[in-house]
Structure 1
Amino acid sequence: MGVEEELLVVDPTGRPVPLGPDALEIAARRGEGETAEEHDSNDDDGNEASAAHLVPELKAQQLELGTPVCHTLAEVESELRFWRSRADAAAAAVGGRVAALATSPVPVEPVATEGERYAQMLDAFGLTAQEMLTCGCHVHVGVEDDEEGVAVLNRIRVWLPVLTALTANSPFWQGTDTGYASYRSQAWHRWPSAGPNEPFTDAADYHRLIDAVLATGTVLDTGMIYFDARLSEKWPTVEVRTADVLLRVEDAVTLAGLVRGLVETAAREAETGIAPPQVRAEVLRVAAWRAGRSGLTGDLIDPRSGTPAPAAEVLAALLEHVRPALTDAGDEHRVSEGVGELLRRGTGADLQRRVHRRTGGDLTAVVRAAVAVTAGEPEDAAQAVPSRTD
């Protein structure tokens, strides 16, 4: 498995700044990443799980990290901590820091990263691309081949809204509390190719859909196939894309464990002939909306019944569903504890709102707290975001 995280680059006051390309120039000189020009020429958006790296994103107020292929959750945790520290060091070298926030709490005017592909996206998608400044977390899990991958996609789709709720970390947008726990998930669905799918007959059926989407001339390339989960174009993996970037590394590790458990469970079900749940994509879209609205503080749609149930009850059902796969991988205790901790202390959205209330509505304080937590420090460790050097 491998994990990709998109991060905001912020200045010492906590405001997002377009220093991502400058930070990546530093990282490239250290052999830790690609410049925007190099990345644009590679044209491999969203399919970068083969090696550790720092790369650009659509907006200059962002950068992305990716782990190498990992075999254990301990490796995932170690790699995420290391690459977050390298991203922070690169940002610090140009006067910034990084924050694992899925949207900017403070008002910001997004600045596009230079490059032909990003320019094409802005031209093709207008205000959607101009306003888009969101940070997600993508988890890749290895599969045998496309047939197994499609069998997995068919069976995990009903659980993906639950992952959106579990990872909610974007309550604010342009200085306003949106009323959502994950507003990133709402903004993201403005892309024409984003969202859930109907089940596929087989791998050929999946690829026919990709060809049909590309044939419309609407999305630029396969990198813009923004399905909730998809087959990687370059690697033998299923890529799950519904999560907000998570403030805490330990929560990202919990997510990675759950995704691997879902993929392994689905592969076993396919092998033994258990049919995938027949739930319409329209219902999954509603479930995803509800998950983004309330996170873990309200009811979620229970995939087993299609009706509302308390978030803790739905998460317990998810854990029970994947428990044999978690146990076989040695992940059952770690993931169960991680889910329990999220239920006890809340998501990143809950932390952001807590800091917002405690500071009398200071959104820059929310960002500064996020910088501290991103770096593995307590949320109250940063009264200001210092300009660090490395």
Structure 2
Amino acid sequence: MPRIPLRHRRHRDPRPGDPAPAPAQRGTGRLSPGRKLGVEEEFLLADPVAWHTVPAAADVLARAEPYAGTCQPELRASQVEAATAIRATRTQLRADLLAGRRVLGAAAERAHAVLVASGTPVLAGPEPPGGPDTRFALIDGRYRALVTGYQACGCHIHCEVPDRDHAVAVVNHLRPWLPTLVALSANSPFAHGRDTGHVSWRIVEQSRFPAAGIPPWFGSFTEYRSEVDRLLACGALLDDRMTFWLARPSPALPTVEIRAADTATTADEALLQALLTRALVDAALADLAAGREAPRGNERVAASALWSAARYGMAGPAVDPWRECTRPAHELVPLLLDRTAAALEDTGDLTLVRDLLGRLARRGTGAQRQRRIAVHGLRGVMRALAADVLSPL
């Protein structure tokens, strides 16, 4: 497929008062194979009595049984990751998500630890050493205190696209929706024994790194690559995998990686993020096929929208990136569903996504549930998180 000549298309930045993007065209009415995607879930390992994190990753991974996905180390020795196989259907993906959690949960139990799904450690504990990978040691040396206590856990979605220029163009379309994905997934209100006042402290911790937050608008993969190379030359990044942008093209594969979500308390909440993300990618590709590029928007408004999502989540004010003003967060979810409905209908996922969004609205996000339980103590929060990690719902 030829390079997408984005720079030569007519373009106008959005202005206050502009409406949100029109919903994508209705689906074909025919169920189609879903665009392939994979999910990486990062987890904490905790002591089953004291409930602070413990550096048990090597022991846990050595005890993990094989399954369709993979189990991997993470930046700190108190973290592990489960990665699904590359899947096209929600049934396969959900089975992998559940299997990865069960495999790591059983391995953690054999290693006298507990698997916990939270974006940040709820309780204070000993500072964990770095993971076993040589690259992790280099990251420690470069960023020092930024990473020595960094135990943030996210849910990362990888979705296929036709090529790397399409990947960049898709990321441009995803930018205004990333704060809503953050708000829906918020699951890190506590950090090291204190209430942060935010619903996603993980996003705040990530914001301290170079190349973090909402990604810039790029006109091509070449332009994106030039910016990454510039940051590498400045010493801000260790390598091209070190960007902390919440959505980015793969440096080598025709995929986009969306890293907006905190790690989900349950497998179905991770599945919700995956299905919404894939549908957003499909909607973006449909726009590109019709000659509609993404508007650049205002960088400071985008940053404000992300901050508000991490601060308040679904319970407080959000920032409407099109009107450039505050708006109730719950009003952005129907816009997201409108944007993704056609793609979800084509893959047969629309009913399930509506059900999962309704369930989330009734139960509250992970952060809201953590705070409800916290009135009885933070150890109770950890016990609840450990129980939920193996629950499908």
Provide the TM-score with structure 2 as the length reference.
0.87
Q: How far is 1:275 from its partner?
A: 2.7
Partner residue of 1:200?
218
Partner residue of 2:295?
277
Say yes or no: does 1:371 pair with 2:347. no
Within 5 Å, which residues of 2 pair with 1:32-51? none
Partner residue of 2:61?
24
The answer to whether the 8 A contact 2:117-2:389 is kept is yes
The answer to whether the 8 A contact 2:169-2:293 is kept is no
Question: Deviation string for 1:10-65 (max 9, x for gaps)?
Answer: 121222111111111222xx446xxxxxxxxxxxxxxxxxx721000111111001
Q: Which amino acid aligns with 1:372?
A: A
Specify which of 110, 117, 125 is matched with residue 93 of structure 1.
Answer: 110
Specify which of 154, 159, 180 is matched with residue 172 of structure 2.
Answer: 154
Q: Distance in 1 between matches of 2:321 and 2:282?
A: 18
Q: How far is 1:306 from its partner?
A: 2.2
Q: Distance in 1 between matches of 2:73 and 2:392?
A: 25
Q: Distance in 2 between matches of 1:226 and 1:15?
A: 26
Partner residue of 1:212?
230
Q: How far is 1:236 from its partner?
A: 2.2
Q: Distance in 1 between matches of 2:236 and 2:318?
A: 33
Give 5+ residue unaligned stretches, structure 1: 33-50, 379-390
Within 5 Å, which residues of 2 pair with 1:245-260? 245-260=263-278
The answer to whether the 8 A contact 1:59-1:110 is kept is no
The answer to whether the 8 A contact 1:153-1:229 is kept is yes
Partner residue of 2:81?
64
Say yes or no: does 1:9 pair with 2:45. yes
- CA 1:179–1:198 in 2, change beyond 3 Å: closer, same or farther? same
Specify which of 106, 110, 127 is matched with residue 123 of structure 2.
Answer: 106
Question: Deviation string for 1:206-260 (max 9, x for gaps)?
Answer: 1111211212122111121221111123432110011100101111111111100
Q: Distance in 1 between matches of 2:283 and 2:334?
A: 16
Partner residue of 1:264?
282
- CA 1:116–1:366 in 2, change beyond 3 Å: closer, same or farther? same
Within 5 Å, which residues of 2 pair with 1:296-315? 296-315=314-333
Specify which of 315, 321, 332 is matched with residue 339 of structure 2.
Answer: 321
Partner residue of 1:387?
none
Partner residue of 1:73?
90
Q: Distance in 2 between matches of 1:337 and 1:377?
A: 14
Q: Which amino acid aligns with 1:24?
A: L
Q: How far is 1:157 from its partner?
A: 0.6
The answer to whether the 8 A contact 1:164-1:244 is kept is yes
Say yes or no: does 1:335 pair with 2:353. yes
The answer to whether the 8 A contact 2:267-2:392 is kept is no
The answer to whether the 8 A contact 1:196-1:285 is kept is yes
- CA 1:78–1:133 in 2, change beyond 3 Å: closer, same or farther? same
Structure 2 SS opposite 1:230:
strand
Partner residue of 2:244?
226
Structure 2 SS opposite 1:217:
coil
The answer to whether the 8 A contact 1:198-1:280 is kept is no
Structure 2 SS opposite 1:295:
helix
Q: Which amino acid aligns with 1:103?
A: T
Partner residue of 1:52?
69
Q: How far is 1:83 from its partner?
A: 0.6
The answer to whether the 8 A contact 2:210-2:243 is kept is no
Specify which of 118, 130, 137 is matched with residue 148 of structure 2.
Answer: 130
The answer to whether the 8 A contact 1:110-1:132 is kept is no
Aligned-pair Cα RMSD in Å: 1.5
Provide the TM-score with structure 1 as the length reference.
0.88
Q: Which amino acid aligns with 2:60?
A: A
Q: How far is 1:338 from its partner?
A: 1.2
The answer to whether the 8 A contact 1:197-1:281 is kept is no
Q: How far is 1:377 from its partner?
A: 7.7
Q: Distance in 1 between matches of 2:151 and 2:353?
A: 30
Q: Distance in 1 between matches of 2:342 and 2:117?
A: 31
Structure 2 SS opposite 1:223:
coil
Within 5 Å, which residues of 2 pair with 1:231-250? 231-250=249-268
The answer to whether the 8 A contact 1:11-1:97 is kept is yes
Displacement over 4 Å in runs of 4+: none
The answer to whether the 8 A contact 1:158-1:277 is kept is no
Q: How far is 1:177 from its partner?
A: 0.6
Q: Distance in 2 between matches of 1:78 and 1:31?
A: 14
